[in-house]
Amino acid sequence: MPSVASIGECMVELRQAQGGQSGGQGGGLYSRSFGGDTLNTAVYLARLEVKVDYFTALGDDTLSEEMIAAWNAEGVGTRRVARLPGKLPGLYMIQLDANGERQFFHWRDSAAARRLMDLPETDEILNSLMSYDIVYLSAITLSIYDAAGRDRLFAAIRRSRLLGTRFVFDTNFRARGWPDRDVAREVFAGAFATADIVLTSAEDLLALYPDDSHDALMARIPAPELVFRLTEPVSLLRFPGGTSEVRAEPMTRPVVDTTAAGDSFAAAYIAARLGGSDPVEAAQAGHRLASLVICYPGAIIPGYAMPPKRRHRPAPSRQATK
């Protein structure tokens, strides 16, 4: 069975309950859950019957134990999760203002996940990447490591690619995670040069290159396979042998919450490509799942709401990437 290594960070999420806006000296009501972009993608991959392991670091606290139990229940493998005594997961809070707009507050500077590239077991963890068909990570993943950690990760990915592992990079850009945009641009360029597949969006890239046209943005990415999502529900594809434009089907239900739209798109795209679909079919699958996910609150929709399984052609065998 094809397998995916998804690398990143999952944090404790505190979300303000509906009607729980605080005022004056009040505190409001919050619900607690877990959240993380590459973790969301891993959950959807598991639901799409792709074997996936999550690579991260957690503490030895009860919240970390809850995360592990929840991931296992979803079918996400946790054998690559490092456990650090005395450390904790990061935390973020979503607060609503008087107009219902969301504000995010983060406490993650000392989170366990930031240590993943600097542990006694890091070499063993990174050497295991070569046993997977795909390594998937996002720009948020890269933002939590220092320069030495990113270099160590990219070196391991390049070694894995020599044995046929493909690297999928999702540009999911959040400015607050980077010291400045120049650093982000430098890291993005390195990821673009290494990746086999890049999943990106106009929203992400225009935040880094605000004066570029869509064509200029796509030209910055040398990866052989590119999915460029526009602000409208359209994807521009570039792949060996051609280009294409894929439009999402018109929405027939109201949009409730756009959280994890990109994460679920990535999962469906990767699952379809591993199942033998071509890039156009994979993008269509990505749009279908994302269009469903945004009709439910939260990042992970109920299991019963998942679309019916689709049969794919047999996956191609792994070939060394030159």
Query: What CATH number does the domain containing 173 carry?
Result: 3.40.1190.20
Asked whether residue 220 is assigned to any structural domain, the reply reads: yes
Asked whether residue 317 is assigned to any structural domain, the reply reads: no
Which of 2, 11, 74, 22 is closest to 44 using CA atoms?
A: 74
> What is the rounded average pLDDT of the residues 104-109?
81
DSSP line for 184-243? HHHHHHHHHHH-SEEEEEHHHHHHH-TT--HHHHHHT---SEEEEE-SSSEEEEEETTEE
Asked whether residue 310 is assigned to any structural domain, the reply reads: no
Q: Indicate if 109 belongs to the active site.
A: no
Asked whether residue 318 is assigned to any structural domain, the reply reads: no
Over residues 143-169, the pLDDT tens digits come to: 999 999 999 999 999 999 999 999 999
User: Torsions phi, psi of 263, nearest 5?
Assistant: -65, -45
> Does an H or E element contain 155, and which?
helix 147-161
321 falls in which pLDDT band (50, 70, 90)?
very low
Residues 138 and 99: their CA atoms lie apart, in Å, by 31
Marked catalytic residue, from 133, 170, 204, 263: 263
Asked whether residue 62 is assigned to any structural domain, the reply reads: yes
- Crossing angle between the packed helical segments 62-74 and 37-47, to the nearest 10 degrees: 30
Cα distance between the two ends of the chain: 24
Asked whether residue 313 is assigned to any structural domain, the reply reads: no
When divided into structural domains, the chain yields a total of: 1
3-state helix, strand, coil in the chain (%, to 5): 35, 25, 40
> What is the rounded average pLDDT of the residues 197-218?
96
Asked whether residue 320 is assigned to any structural domain, the reply reads: no
Which of 148, 237, 240, 158 is closest to 191 using CA atoms?
A: 158
Residue 162 has a pLDDT of: 97
Average pLDDT of the chain is: 89
> What is the rounded average pLDDT of the residues 71-89?
96
At position 70, the amino acid (one-letter code) is A
Asked whether residue 247 is assigned to any structural domain, the reply reads: yes
Range of the domain at 73: 3-305
Q: In the chain, pLDDT over 90 holds for what percent of residues?
A: 71
Residues 6 and 52 sit within 8 Å (Cβ to Cβ): yes
Residue 16 has a pLDDT of: 72
Which of 144, 136, 145 is closest to 197 using CA atoms?
A: 136
Please determine, for residue 316, whether its predicted confidence score (pLDDT) is greater than 80: no
